[in-house]
Every structure is written in C-alpha cells, then in structure tokens.
Structure 1
C-alpha cells in the first residue's frame, strides 16, 4: 500500500506530485485523473476494481492495513482454500496446499461476500453484543438506583429505631418519676401523721404543765395532793405511750434513694452503634443474548432474506381476547400473549385461558415486551394523561409510569430503549431509566402509527399516506426504502419483522396482512378477511417460534405458524 493515499503512485515514481482521485484495490495504488484514464483503458488493468479516494479514506484503519498480497511470497492472492479457510497465492498452493481438494478461485468467493454467512453472523453478533451491553448497563444503573433507595431505607430504619428508643426511654422515665412522686407522697403522709400525733401529745403535756402551775398557786394542800396523783398518772400514761411508739419503730428516719438499672448503663458501655453497615455483592442476574450454535462458516454467499414466495401460514390457535378496543398485542418468550383493551392489559396463557388483567391509569394503546426486566411497556394513545405504563409480569401489577409530553401510539423496544411513534412529534427515543427523550425522526406523523425494530433497521407505518418506511439507523437515521401500493395495503397498522428481515404489516382498511421483502421490492398478501381478519390492528411476529399473532380490534386474536 502506498505511503500516501492522496498522491498518485505512478506519477510519484516519475518524481511528479499529483493529487490522486481514484484508488485501485488490486494495484493497491492511488491514481490521478490522467493515470486513472490510462489504467481504465489498459488491457492488463481495465478490469480492476477502483473506488474514489474519498470512499477509500472512509474505510476503517484496520481494513486499510490489509494487503492483497501474500506476506511470504509477495504474490497476489488468487485461490481460496476452504479447508484451511485462508487465501493463497500460487506459491502457497505448491508449498502448503498441494493435497487440499477444496480449492476455489478467490474472485468467485469474494464476488458476493457481502451476502456471506460470516458477515451476516458478525453483524448479528455485534447487534447482540450491543444488546448485552445495554442489559448490563441497565443492571448497573438499577443497582445504583437500588443502592440509593436502600440507603434511604436504612436511614429511615435508624430514625425509627431512635424514635422507638426515645419513646421507650420517655415512658420508663415517666413511670420512674411517677413512682418517685408516689413514694415521696406516701412517706410524706406517714411522717405528717406522726408529727400530728406528736403535736397532739405535746399539747396534752403542755396542758398538764399549766394545770400543775395552777394547782401549786391556787389549790389547797389536799387538792394539791390529789391533783399530783392524777397528774402523775397522766404523765406516766403519756410517757408509756411515747415509749411504746419508739419501741414499735414508729419513729424512723426516712431517706429517698434511687438505684440506676444497670441495663441502662450497659447501653452506654456496650452499644456503640445502631448496627453494622456492609455491602453484599452477588453476580448480576443478566442472561446474555443466546447465540446460535456456531457451525463452521464457509465464505459462501447466501441470501439473507427468505423468499416471501415461500411464506405461508397455518392457523394454530384462536384466543378470545374479550377486548372491545384492542390496538396492540405481543407474544411473551414463554408463549403467553398480551393485549391492550380500553384502559387495561390482559395476558393469556398458551391454551387461550386468561392469566391475569391489569388496569392502566390511561387508555392502553400499543404494547411491547421488555426482556431486560420481564415487563410490558404500554403507550397511552389519545388518552388525556400522556404516559408510558410499565407492568411487572411476575407481580402482575404496575411497576412504573413514565410521563411524556405528547400522544404516544406505536412502541418497540431495543434493549432498554423505547422507540415510539408520536402524534405530530415524529419518532422518538425514550430512555426510561433517566426519563430522557430524543428525536429519531422529526416530522409530523398522524395518530395510530406503529413502529418495529430489527438490528439496525427501523420500520414505520403511516396510515395517512398508506405507506411503510424502512430507516437505516447506522449513523444518521435515513430512509432505506419506502413501500406504497394502495391496491395492496390501505391504512397500515401493526407491524413486525421476522428473522430474515421480512416485514409483516396489517392493512386495516384493506383487511389483510402483507409481507414485504427485506429490500422493500417484493410483497405478498398472506392473510385476508377469509382468514378471520375483521378490523385488525395489532400484529406481532415471534422470532423464537416463527409464529405470527394477529389481533382484531374486537374479541378475537389468532396465532399462525409459518409453514
């Protein structure tokens, strides 16, 4: 490969500097206008493949570093050995591949390499890896969100523990203070009664003393004699009474004391924290996208899309949806089916019996399955409350509600991202875990349009223009093809895609289901009114089981199997 791609290699050999405009992939050289003209006319190079320098410089650096010549013999690769899966020059064949039987011209192998199994598998693997990364990102983001929630829960638990402890301490403090008060009052009453009794006896003795004085001053000797005997008896009686009180222990010194409960003191000594804080870790419950069993891939082209001429359907099951306004439907990985109806979502078992029903806070329009967390996303359509409702399938209840600013109708899920068709607001991307929204297609779109996603392709129905548009999402979103044939498809509604990129669309007014080839060039009507379609709107293709679910607007849905 020339050291500088923008200089003409032929002119450079002649010490002339000219700007190259073309790159020959076989000569591995850049060519100016004059040399390119000679190159295209020369017998030896006229059949060489050339590309513009601008296109060549867009190639990845790894591709630019590849050489078309053998590293060992410096000869051009001409043969491909299928046994060893490697390109060979003529010398390689002689030296290392003389016994190999499965040899082919390299030119024949690379002729349709863009349709090879290997390239197809690599593209699928890249798409699957992106989905896996999205799943892991979701799990990590959920873990981060859960961590914050658990912190708040722990803080609240500590707060409640503190409140409980405070209440208990307040109660035992109140009880203790009440006990102290009652004990003191009781003892105070006893002491007061003793003091009253002593006061009474004191007054009686004072009365004896006064009487004694009066006798000494005014009584006759006889009266004095007789009074002394009487007073002596009274004094002796009071002395005996006082002594009996002392001996009986009535007079005691009272001291109010308090002994602390040692268990309370242990709280200070033994309890140093409310509890231990630690992180428990466990592997994320992330199931990576199941890869198909890798068989040895040969560099042999194949058609990516199954020919739609060979697509035929057989009715497998009929489900009575009990619906009056079914706008959307989907199949779950375990074979169950889910349908929207007015303001609820119904999930049915594989035998057609109803599993459960969840009322939605708004009208229920379209529905899609989220494999990351086993939930359903439901749009609100023309409801006054604009939102996307998330339903937990396992717990059979609403998990979350994402508010939006427009009327959302069709919805598809890619990893953890929602692709939504909105009235007048175009096609939007909704990131539910940070509630952010971005535009994918900015154009006015009518109501009740649907969307599907497959790999890096997005498909959208427009019931006003009676068209189906395929967008390429790699880089900037751009239209890859547009299908419009009003003699075949009118008022396109539900849309889904199979494993080969074929697109299945319901024609609500044309009363049929049309399959469009992956390149948008061919079509085939595979169902019509004779197959039971009556005002059908919802459609979902199960890529795991190759089954097609079609839902009428009222009462009935049908599951078809590809044959």
Structure 2
C-alpha cells in the first residue's frame, strides 16, 4: 500500500479493464498500440494481425527497451527545456545590452546634433552682430558727417544775423552772396545723400534655414526600432521512443507454430491426368 501511494495519480488510476466494454484486457495490438479486451478484438481489431497476449507483454514491462527509452527521453526533454530557458535568459541579457548600447548611441547622436546646432547658432549670432556693427558704423559715420554740416549751417545762421545787425550795404550784398553759395553746396551734399540711399531706413532681417524651420514636418522621428531574428543556437535532443516502440513490436511478435496453423480452402484447380502425372514426376 505504501508503494502504491508513492505512484502519481495518473498512474495509480490506471485500471486493467476496458472502460468501453467493462471486460478485462487480455491482448495487445501492436498495430494500433492499444490494449484489447475480447470485445475490442471482435469490434475494432477483427482484421489486425499479430495480436499479442497481454500476459506475455507485461512480463518485461519494467525491463523493456521502451520504458528505458521513455525515461531517457524524459531526461533529454528536461535537458532541452533547461537549455531553452538558459538560451532565453541569455537572449534577454543580450537584449538588455543592446538597449543600453542603442540608448548611448541615441544620446551620442543627440549630443552631436546639439553641438552642431550650438555651432550654427553661434555662427548666426556672430553674423547678426557683424551686420549690426556694420550698420552702426555706417550710421555713426553719417551722423558724424551731418553733425559737422550742422555746425556749418549754424555758422551760416549766425553770419546772417550778424550781417543784418552790423554789416554795411556792400558787406551785406557780398556776404549774402557768399552765404548763398555755401548754402547751395550744403544742399547739394544733402541731395546727394538722398540719391545714394543714405536716408533709407535700415533694418536687419533674419532668414531661418527652411530645413530647420520644417524640422518637425521633415524629421518626424529619431529613427525606428525593429525586431530581428537569427538562427537559434539551441540543438534539441531527439526522442528515441518511436524506435523503441518498433523494437518492442518486433520483440513481442511471435509467429504461430506450424502445428497451430489452420488451412483454409480457397479454390480448386482441375488438371488433365497427363499434366498432373508430368507435374508429379518432375516434382
């Protein structure tokens, strides 16, 4: 009873009778690999050849090649599963290493992009400052020149006032002509500034590179991640149960002795007496 309790339920629940017909198993059919009761033989195995007595088969049940082969296959199966688990765990380690490597690579690309953007940003800042300084220099130069012209005009205003108050008639006549000529010269200078665009409103205009402006629409992602597969390194150990089953069939298959053979008349051949004699003599 103690040894019986050590059996797993799947084994201890096995019965020695046919659940379909309620009769005890008496034979084994190697062709269908099934236990048979007398009813099974008459219904399902009527044409089967080589039915074996179950008592003969069971004599070596625990020492048969099949049981040893199944045990070996179970051990191989356990080894296969362990190898697969180990391979999957190693694969997970590789995946984690790849993820860390690719994250570093992404950050390096981002760093290069940041460095490049910082560089071209600095370049545009320098260009902006240079253009501003150029405009400032030209404007300051013009302002300086106009300041000098302003002093000249102020001198002319003072001279006119002095002529009105203190000059004689001849001095007023000749002096006004002189001031008029000088005034015309200053007017020509201002007219020249108008014609060469010196009075044009000067502005700075920024043109952002279209590729940068359209970065959101043209560069929608950093890249993409795909899953690839390669040939597995796991080599499964093949089971040997089918070969053992074939060996088992050969082991238990016993030909019937000649004395136990029953002859059945199939047909009658009629021959002339002369032919029969000739055949008998030749034989």
Please, what TM-score do these two structures have when normalized by structure 2?
0.67
Residues 1:210 and 2:158 are matched in the alignment: yes
Which residue of structure 1 lines up, in the alignment, with residue 266 of structure 2?
none
**Residues in 2 aligned to 1:91 and 1:223: alpha-carbon distance in whole angstroms:** 159
Question: What does the per-residue CA deviation read over 1:452-481, in whole Å, with 9 as the maximum and x for residues that have no partner?
Answer: xxxxxxxxxxxxxxxxxxxxxxxxxxxxxx
Residues 74, 283 of structure 1: CA spacing in aligned structure 2 closer, same or farther, 3 A cutoff? farther
Aligned partners of 1:289, 1:280: CA distance in 2, in Å?
Answer: 28
Aligned residue for 2:257? none
- Conserved? CA contact 1:117–1:298, under 8 Å: yes
- CA shift at 1:178, angstroms? 1.4
DSSP-derived class of the 2:214 partner: helix
Q: Following TM superposition, by how much is the alpha carbon of 1:88 offset from its aligned partner in structure 2, in angstroms?
A: 6.4
CA shift at 1:216, angstroms?
A: 4.6
Of 247, 269, 272, which residue of structure 2 is paired with 1:297? 247
More strand by share: 1
Q: Which residue of 1 aligns with 2:82?
A: 134
State yes or no: 1:106 paired with 2:55.
Answer: yes
1:163 to 88, 111, 134: 111
Deviation at 1:184, TM superposition (A): 0.9
1:117 positional shift = 1.2
Contact 2:163-2:172 within 8 A present in 1 as well = yes
Alignment of structure 1 residues 427-506 onto 2, 5 Å? none
Query: In the TM superposition, what is the alpha-carbon distance from 1:188 to its structure 2 partner?
Result: 0.8
> How far apart, in 2, do the equivalents of 1:246 and 1:217 lie?
35
- Is 1:57 the counterpart of 2:8 in the alignment? no
Larger radius of gyration: 2
Query: Taking CA–CA contacts closer than 8 Å with sequence separation of 6 or more, which of the two structures ends up with the larger relative contact order?
Result: 2
Higher helix share: 2
**Alpha-carbon shift at residue 266 of structure 1 (Å):** 1.9
Q: Assess if the C-alpha contact under 8 Å between 1:184 and 1:256 holds in 2.
A: yes
- Please list the CA deviations of residues 384-439 of structure 1 after superposition, one character each: whole Å capped at 9, or x if unmatched: xxxxxxxxxxxxxxxxxxxxxxxxxxxxxxxxxxxxxxxxxxxxxxxxxxxxxxxx
Task: Say yes or no: does 1:247 pair with 2:202.
Answer: no
Corresponding residue for 1:280? 227
Instruction: Note if contact 2:18-2:24 (Cα within 8 Å) is conserved in structure 1.
Output: yes
Does the 8 Å contact 1:128/1:289 carry over to 2? yes
Aligned residue for 1:67, secondary structure, equals coil
Q: 1:112 to 1:154 in 2, by over 3 A?
A: same
- Give, in whole Å, the separation in 1 of the partners of 2:185 and 2:214: 57
Q: How many residues align?
A: 246
Structure 2 counterpart SS, 1:297: helix
* Aligned twin of 2:179: 231
Distance in structure 1 (CA, Å) of the matches to 2:132 and 2:107:
37
1:65-103 CA distances to partner (integer Å, 9 max, x unpaired)?
Answer: 3334566584574x6666776666789899968995685
RMSD between aligned residues: 3.9
C-alpha distance in 1 between matches for 2:33 and 2:201: 111
Contact 2:18–2:25, Cα closer than 8 Å, also in 1 = yes
Q: For 1:224 and 1:99, locate their aligned partners in 2 and report how far apart those are by CA, in whole Å.
A: 153
Q: Contact 1:80–1:106 at 8 Å: present in 2 too?
A: no
Partner of 1:266: 214
Question: What corresponds to 2:125 in structure 1?
Answer: 177
* 2:70 and 2:240 in contact (8 A); partners too: no
| Distance of 1:191 and 1:99 partners within structure 2 | 116
How far apart are the structure 2 equivalents of 1:70 and 1:243?
A: 126
Normalising by structure 1, what TM-score? 0.37
Post-superposition offset of 1:59: 1.9
